[in-house]
Amino acid sequence: MKSNATQTEILLMTGTRFSARQSNSIAEPGHSNNLTDRQKLEEACWNGMLKEMLPELFEQPDGNKNLYLWQIREADAYIELEFGNAPEAKEKYLSIDPYAFMPVQYFS
């Protein structure tokens, strides 16, 4: 019997006050002074800080499934975070990433 896997995509807009504020608030003194705001935000996501920044995104109704960050993709105006129980290929037409679903829409 195949179990249901949970996958979550999160788009964090870069170049906004929220992303700049978050990257500045998590910066360690002397550690990442030469990194851009985008790089600081990515580093914070890899270090698990997103659950502290946006805890409402990680509330699970069943309570026992942990979501793990599997991939971060960079785009022009955002970074895309892929979370899941296990790494799986995502269905492009169900994605919230416009670069993923727009080519599929043209063929529909």
pLDDT tens digits, 35-69: 888 888 888 888 888 888 888 877 766 655 678 88
* Residue 104: partners with Cβ closer than 8 Å, 6 or more residues away: 92, 93
H/E stretch holding 73: strand 68-74
Quick one: pLDDT at residue 106? 55
CA distances from 71 to 34, 46, 63, 80 (A): 23, 9, 23, 8
Quick one: pLDDT at residue 56? 83
What residue spans define the domains of the chain? 7-107
Which two tokens mark 70?
């599997």
0.85 exceeded by pTM? no
Quick one: pLDDT at residue 105? 52
Dist CA 95 CA 98 (whole Å):
8
Quick one: pLDDT at residue 65? 67
Q: Residue 6's pLDDT band (boundaries 50, 70, 90)?
A: confident
